[in-house]
């Protein structure tokens, strides 16, 4: 069937970029548009992050730097593109780094992974370390709902001591 193409044009369903709201040093929240990187920049970002992941998987000691300062800045420039200069001038370091890493997760994986990092500040797939952190990642869950998800340990004796919900059925008439 010549002329019948089941594929849609790529630009019909791929994202053009990210729009990230960030509070600047002046206290104002501005939305920064991070454009989809060029193919060349995307390949470089993939290469750098794949290398870093291989080092981490190979047991690189925690204090060892994967990238030196210049390489880290180059990675951020690749990820942020034209927004790099504005962000560097207008936001704090922690905000800048969070935007950069969110963008890196978007470039190397997908929008959902970037959103997970944006909201939780946890590297995607990393389990929260304690109850408070787990709850922080689930803003729509109340404490009581979270507690009700935990099952009580089963009794090993076959009795239900302390349970007052049971009726008197099954008890002997001995008065005990």
- pLDDT in the model for residue 116: 93
Any idea what DSSP says for residue 162?
Answer: T
The pLDDT of residue 28 is above 70: yes
**24 vs 150 pLDDT, higher one:** 24
- pLDDT in the model for residue 89: 96
The three-state secondary structure class of 173 is coil
Of 2-16, 76-90, 108-122, 161-175, highest mean pLDDT: 76-90
**109 vs 160 pLDDT, higher one:** 109
Q: Are strands 29-35 and 17-23 parallel, antiparallel or unpaired?
A: antiparallel
CB atoms within 10 A of CB 34: 23
The closest of 31, 29, 53 to 104, measured between CA atoms, is 53
Map out the domains of the chain as residue ranges. 61-127
Question: E strand or H helix at 79, and its extent?
Answer: helix 69-80
The pLDDT of residue 150 is above 50: no
- pLDDT in the model for residue 54: 74
How confident is residue 63, by pLDDT bands cut at 50, 70 and 90?
Answer: low
The three-state secondary structure class of 66 is coil
The three-state secondary structure class of 118 is helix
- pLDDT in the model for residue 165: 46
**160 vs 3 pLDDT, higher one:** 3
The closest of 122, 75, 128 to 103, measured between CA atoms, is 75
> In the chain, what is the straight-line distance between the N-terminal and C-terminal CA atoms, in Å?
86
The count of C-alpha atoms lying within 13 angstroms of the C-alpha of 2, restricted to the half-sphere facing its C-beta, is 0
CB 117 within 8 A of CB 123: yes
The three-state secondary structure class of 129 is coil
CB 49 within 8 A of CB 101: no
- pLDDT in the model for residue 65: 63
The pLDDT of residue 11 is above 80: no
pLDDT in tens, 73-125: 899 999 999 999 999 999 999 999 999 999 999 999 889 999 999 999 887 66
């Amino acid at each position: 069937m010549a002329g019948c193409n089941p594929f849609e044009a790529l630009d019909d369903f791929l994202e053009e970029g990210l729009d990230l709201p960030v509070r600047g040093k002046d206290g104002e929240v501005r939305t920064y548009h991070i454009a989809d990187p060029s193919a060349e920049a995307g390949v470089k970002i993939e290469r750098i992050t794949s290398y870093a992941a291989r080092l981490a998987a190979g047991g690189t000691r925690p204090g060892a730097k994967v990238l030196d300062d210049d390489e880290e800045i180059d990675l951020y420039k690749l990820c942020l593109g034209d927004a790099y200069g504005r962000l560097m001038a207008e936001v704090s370091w922690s905000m800048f780094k969070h935007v950069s890493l969110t963008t890196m997760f978007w470039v190397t994986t997908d929008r959902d992974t970037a959103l997970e990092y944006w909201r939780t500040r946890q590297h995607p797939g990393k389990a929260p370390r304690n109850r408070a952190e787990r709850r922080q990642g689930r803003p729509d869950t109340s404490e009581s709902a979270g507690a009700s998800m935990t099952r009580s340990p089963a009794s090993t004796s076959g009795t239900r001591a302390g349970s007052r919900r049971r009726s008197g059925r099954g008890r002997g008439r001995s008065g005990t």
